[in-house]
Amino acid sequence: MDLNKLQSIFTIGETVAVEFKRCGNGIESDTYETVCSFLNRFGGDIFLGVLDDGTVVGVPEKAAADMVKNFIKTVSNPTVFSPTIYLAPEIIKYDDKRTIIHVHIPPSAEVHSYKKVIYDRRDDADVKVTAAGAIAQMYIRKQNIFTEKKIYPYAKMEDLRLDLLPQIRIMAQNHAGGQHPWTAMSDEELLKSAGLYGRDIATGEEGYNLAAIMLLGKDDVILNVAPAYVTDALVRKVNIDRYDDREVIKTNLIESYKQLLEFGRKNLPDKFFLEDIVNKSLRNTIVREMVSNTLMHREFTSSYTAKFVIEKDRMYVENANRAAREGIITVNNLEPNPKNPIIAAFFRNIGYADQLGSGVRNLFKYSKFYSGKEPEFVEGDVFRIVLPLDEEYSYDFGWDNVGKIETKESRFATKNGESATMETKTATKEAMIETKKELTKEEIKILCLIREDSFVKQKTLHEKTGISLGTVKRILPRLQEKGVLVREGGKRFGKWIIKVAEQEKIKANNEKYPVSKAKGKKEKDNKL
């Protein structure tokens, strides 16, 4: 969250969706009461280290990390919060002297309690709800709003793809930086913790809900409860009357996400882009945001076919929607409104999505670097994201260290004082190319796989490239020595970052030396 937005929030003050907490010596219990009330109402934002009047006093900088750990431990403790929730507080350096903590709480499809007490949000206050009738109304309200909560009492664990859960635990653990409550839970505990098992307060029915079936259901089970569920992925660049490529995807949301992401990677160019000094795939970032949005926020009870279409001058996704309003969505009028909070929370836990609303902002941010134009978001009974495409458009560089945007045109803007930065970057790019020429065929293969999955393991690199495990273990430090590759985090939960990258060259070499699934193939190093 940028400083201007923070200052605007502090000036406006506390609202139904904003709460300030001093938290000078630690996190007080009333902070968790607010978390509970936000979950039960419309969601909101808590700022720790801010007085009631909006004055920023900060929290002890050295204690901030421990405060975040204690916060996460509390909200994920089933004896304190029921059901538990995973949140990711953000430590913000407000200025040279003051540090604050920001916690975003999305609205939940569940009714939550803190220390066995249910709280609701009224204006800017947290209110205890004790009357049985009022509590029942809260459950009914949630049930009526979110169709993902529909209970299927005859659905069993064997109707779900439990084989996906080990992978899901690892993804959640990696996304959380090495620690996530799901890793220590049984399958049944994980499903309940994620809100995939519940009870309909109006009927008394208990069991797995629609969210569970859509996220993890076997294909025949999904077809049974949502017969019209499908995502039609099409490419229409040459054959506009029919299609150049097509995939009809009807499987669970976890694997649908992977298949749609791969479809986008296969049919869209990936243009060179540096953010600071780190290679960033614009294509993968854009496709990820569009795919996660259309999977998370669709109305699964509708018969409308969801689409992911790539054309010559645009690509778009569209899906059935429960519109809160109608019209064009911009960064300025964005009001995050999760259609399926359980599914959205699951996606955020495993790294398929980020904070609510960030996808819209990221698409506006990165699409101009990819195609030179901004996307369009249209809210209605059918929700659409349309992103212009221009294969001829090229944005070769990125941001410099002070956040200045450099374009191809600005590279030639001056020849004297202002051109120093351009010349430096040009020299840097030339150095990159020289380094690339020194890479071997085997190194290129490994970089191609790392580029697709930064968390890839050595064993996987061995299996997919056919390069012996011992050679893989020698190549990785060699790439680090060359300045191409950086390791972030430990051996178990860390990830790889490609620092020196020329994406089109990697792509070209990947086509020249395709990754093989065969094991044990020995190849001689060929200097590129």
pLDDT digits (tens, 9 = 90+) for 438-465: 678 888 888 888 888 888 888 889 888 8
**CATH code for the part of the protein at 1-143:** 3.30.950
Q: What pLDDT was estimated at residue 335?
A: 66
Domain 231-388 fold: Heat Shock Protein 90 (3.30.565)
What digits encode the pLDDT tens for the residues 235-247?
999 998 899 999 9
What digits encode the pLDDT tens for the residues 105-137?
887 878 899 999 999 988 788 999 999 888 887
Q: What pLDDT was estimated at residue 408?
A: 40
Give Cα 310 distance to the centre of its chain: 22
Band of pLDDT at residue 270, cut at 50, 70 and 90: confident
The answer, yes or no, to whether residue 214 has pLDDT greater than 50, is yes
Q: What pLDDT was estimated at residue 248?
A: 96
- Range(s) within the chain of domains with CATH label 3.30.950: 1-143
Whole-Å CA distances, 328 to 54, 323, 333, 364, 379: 32, 12, 9, 13, 6
The alpha carbon dihedral of 152, 158, 163, 165 has a sign of: positive
Helix (H) or strand (E) holding 522: none
- Range(s) within the chain of domains with CATH label 1.10.10.10: 438-512
44-48 vs 18-21, strand pairing mode: parallel
Minimum mean pLDDT among 20-24, 192-196, 290-294: which range?
20-24
The answer, yes or no, to whether residue 179 has pLDDT greater than 90, is no
Q: Mean pLDDT across the chain, nearest whole number?
A: 82
* Separation between Cα atoms, residue 164 and residue 216, nearest integer Å: 8
The answer, yes or no, to whether residue 183 has pLDDT greater than 50, is yes
The candidate with the shortest Cα–Cα distance to 128, out of 47, 40, 44, is: 40
Q: What pLDDT was estimated at residue 83?
A: 87
Task: Record the pTM.
Answer: 0.57
Q: What pLDDT was estimated at residue 287?
A: 95
What is the rounded average pLDDT of the residues 509-516? 50
Q: What pLDDT was estimated at residue 87?
A: 86
The answer, yes or no, to whether residue 502 has pLDDT greater than 60, is no
Q: What pLDDT was estimated at residue 509?
A: 52
**CATH code for the part of the protein at 438-512:** 1.10.10.10
Give Cα 305 distance to the centre of its chain: 24
The candidate with the shortest Cα–Cα distance to 122, out of 54, 41, 44, 51, is: 41
Helix (H) or strand (E) holding 505: helix 503-512
Q: Which pairs from 218-226 meet CB under 8 Å and 24+ separation?
A: 218/159, 218/160, 218/161, 218/252, 219/250, 219/251, 219/252, 221/155, 221/159, 221/160, 222/250, 222/251, 222/252, 223/250, 225/152, 226/300, 226/301
Please give the structure tokens belonging to residue 230.
């499908």
Identify whether 477 is preceded by a cis peptide bond (ω within 30 of 0). Answer: no
The answer, yes or no, to whether residue 31 has pLDDT greater than 50, is yes
DSSP state of 59: B
Please give the structure tokens belonging to residue 220.
């025949």
- Range(s) within the chain of domains with CATH label 3.30.565.60: 231-388
